[in-house]
Amino acid sequence: MAEERKAARKKIETTDRMNRVMADYFHDLNEAATTGTRKIAWCTSVGPAELLRAMDFAVYFPENHSAMLGATRMSTDLIPVANAIGYSPDICSYLTADIGAYLKGITPLSRAFQGIESVPKPDVLVFNTNQCRDVQDWFAWYSRELGVPSIGVSSPKNVTEVTDAHIDDVALQIEALIPTLETIAGKKLSMDRLRETVDLSRECTELWKQVLETATSAPAPLTFFDGTVHMGPAVVLRGTQVAVDHYKVLLAELQQRIREGVGAVEDERIRIYWEGMPVWGRLRQHSEMFSALKANVLASTYCSSWIFPAFDGKDPIRSMAKAYLELFIVRSDIYKENYLQGMLEKFRIDGIIYHDAKTCPYNSNSRYGMPQRLERISGVPSLVISGDLNDLRCVSDEQTKTNVEAFIEQIQEGK
């Protein structure tokens, strides 16, 4: 049996700074909502946030809120509340947890941040179905409930190569949002502001990429579990100087660790790739489980999904369209397998773990033979663990632990 002992990952000092950045973001949103000084847009995680920011909307991301519901382990009790009004336990547990929280009138924001009583009420809901249909259904519910418009982009799926025709389609849909948004914002879109915002998103994305790629070093200075927390500003503040400034500080700390040979996991021996969503309510347990086995889960599709190399302020709308289309989740299995093979090589991965999340088929890539195909091509062994992002009733801790321990032992024996 693999050696087991309690171990924690080494704390990243910039975490305290990040917590302040996130607190400022939520207080700013709350001020906009309670004073009415700025209009509020809800946006899906890879929706047209740049457009909304350039029009001075305060931008709120319900998926980020749902991840907080998961991480605080509030979600499992809230999901049945949405099930009771007809939203199936089999659909996205971000959606069901978030709607359940709304119906119960609770939010982790009020526990985390003094003075915040509720999520900010939207003036408009803006989605992009590049990730899944559930986001549109999610916003449709709030649209009916709150009487606010839900508008967005219907994205092509299963894209192998992003073509001009795809980009034209999505760019036209983004442009078509502008008149409605201008009416709600009460102002015209400034193309100069949009260019600046897209350039800031590009800068954020480049820094975030460099942050994640510090893990190509051995030992890696950060873990996937750090990444899921530190991606907060890249998710909710892309297109702002605040996010850019923050990632410069984080990157400097991780580069310092590399110079000093400091790893996030003590005595790192096994390097693991995580494919799929995190189990938000088990981040600490999973981090400790892998650290105790001297295994570092150091790279992931999930954290890397906030890298958008296409952003270009010189051609803001088309580059936004291209960036949103190049997202991993939008792509075909052929593209995904090539991408993953590249990641396994770049990060010198010993094993890959697929999280088959019960309520998110879109982020579960183990259901159509991919682990077997990729293992044949790359020679890197894989393990599929069953679970969920937010619904802990779908998670078996004992089974996960047993399977992960056996998997790490198998990798060690093969080294």
Q: Is the Cβ of residue 145 or residue 168 nearer to ligand SF4 in the bound state?
A: 145
Q: Which is nearer to ligand SF4, 197 or 363 (CB)?
A: 363
Pairing of strands 150-153, 295-300: unpaired
Site for ligand SF4 in 347-376 (CB under 6 A): 360, 362-363
* Least Å from the CB of residue 359 to ligand SF4: 7
Give the residue among 208, 209, 228, 212 at the shortest CA–CA distance from 220: 212
Shortest Cβ 117–ligand SF4 spacing (Å): 25
Q: How far apart are CA 192 and CA 75, in angstroms?
A: 41
Instruction: Quote the least distance from Cβ 93 to ligand SF4, whole Å.
Output: 7
- Residue 94 near ligand SF4 by CB under 6 A: yes
Distance separating alpha carbons of residues 30 and 290, to the nearest angstrom? 38
Asked if 56 is part of the footprint of ligand SF4 (rule: CB under 6 A), the reply reads: no
Total number of residues binding ligand SF4 (CB under 6 A)?
Answer: 11
Question: Which CB atom, from 88 or from 241, has the smaller least distance to ligand SF4?
Answer: 88
Out of 78, 92, 251, 392, which residue is the one contacting ligand SF4 (CB under 6 A)?
A: 92
Residues 407, 250: Cα–Cα separation, whole Å = 32
Whole-number Å distance between alpha carbons of 56 and 404: 46
Helix/strand/coil for 388: coil
From residue 200, give the alpha-carbon distance in Å to each of 12, 58, 232, 238, 313: 24, 16, 16, 7, 9
Distance, in Å, from the CA atom of 94 to the CA atom of 14, rounded to the nearest integer, reads 28
Q: Which of 131, 150, 201, 366 binds ligand SF4 (CB under 6 A)?
A: 131
35-74: buried (b, 16+ CB within 10 Å) or exposed (e) per residue? eeebbbbbbbbbbbbbbbbbbbbbbbbbbbbbbbbbbeeb
- Which CB atom, from 50 or from 134, has the smaller least distance to ligand SF4? 134
Which two tokens mark 229? 């927390």
Smaller CB distance to ligand SF4: residue 200 or 277? 277
Between 92 and 220, name the residue whose CB sits nearer to ligand SF4: 92
389 contributes a contact to ligand SF4 by CB under 6 A: yes
Length of the chain: 415
> Considering the complex, what minimum distance in angstroms separates the CB of residue 175 from ligand SF4?
25
Q: Is 135 in the site for ligand SF4 (CB under 6 A)?
A: yes
Confirm or reject binding of residue 132 to ligand SF4 (CB under 6 A): yes
Q: List interacting residues with ligand SF4 (CB under 6 A).
A: 63, 92, 94, 131-132, 134-135, 360, 362-363, 389
